[in-house]
A and B are shown apart, each in its own frame.
Chain A
Amino acid sequence: NTRSSGYHQKALAEIRNSLLPFANSGG
Chain B
Amino acid sequence: MAFSFLIRKKSTKSFPVKVITLDAELEFNLEWRATGRDLFDLVCRTIGLRETWYFGLQYQDSKGFMSWLKLDKKVHDQGIPQQIPTTFNFLVKFYPEDVSEELVQEVTQHLFYLQVKQAILRMDIYCPPEASVLLASYAVQAKYGDYDETSYQPGLLASEDLLPQRVIDQYQMTPEMWEDRIKIWYADHKTMSRDEAEMEYLKVAQDLDMYGVNYFDISNKKETNLWLGVTALGLNIYEKENKLAPKTTFAWSEIRHISFDDKKFIIKPVDKTSPNFVFFSQKVRMNKLILDLCIGNHDLFMRRRKPDSMEVQQMKAQAKEERSRRQIERNKL
Contact = CB atoms under 8 A, between A and B. Distances in A.
A27 B188 CA distance: 28
A5 B200 CA distance: 10
Given A8-B204, A15-B134, A23 B196 contact: no
Contact of B170 (A11, A18, A27): A27
Contacts of A27: 170-171
Contact of B134 (A2, A12, A23): A12
Nearest to B100: A2
B173 A22 contact: yes
A8 B177 CA distance: 21
A11 B185 contact: yes
A15 B185 contact: yes
Contacts of A5: 203
Contact of A8 (B134, B170, B181): B134
Nearest to B167: A19
Interface of A is mostly: helix
A23 B167 CA distance: 10
A11 B182 CA distance: 11
Contacts of A23: 170-172
A9 to B, nearest CB: 10
A7 B204 CA distance: 11
Interface residues of B, number: 23
Interface string A1-26: 11101001001110110110011100
A19 B203 contact: no
B130 interface: yes
A23 B173 CA distance: 9
B171 to A, nearest CB: 5
Given A2-B100, A27-B170, A19 B192 contact: no
A5 B129 CA distance: 18
B100 A16 contact: no
A22 B172 contact: yes
Interface in B96-140: 100, 129-131, 133-134
A15 B181 CA distance: 8
**Leading 7 A-B pairs by shortest Cβ distance:** A15-B130, A27-B170, A16-B130, A22-B171, A12-B130, A15-B133, A22-B173
Given A3-B203, A5-B203, A15-B130, 19 more contacts: A1-B192, A2-B100, A2-B196, A2-B199, A2-B200, A8-B134, A8-B200, A8-B203, A11-B185, A12-B130, A15-B129, A15-B133, A16-B130, A19-B130, A19-B171, A22-B172, A24-B169, A24-B170, A24-B172
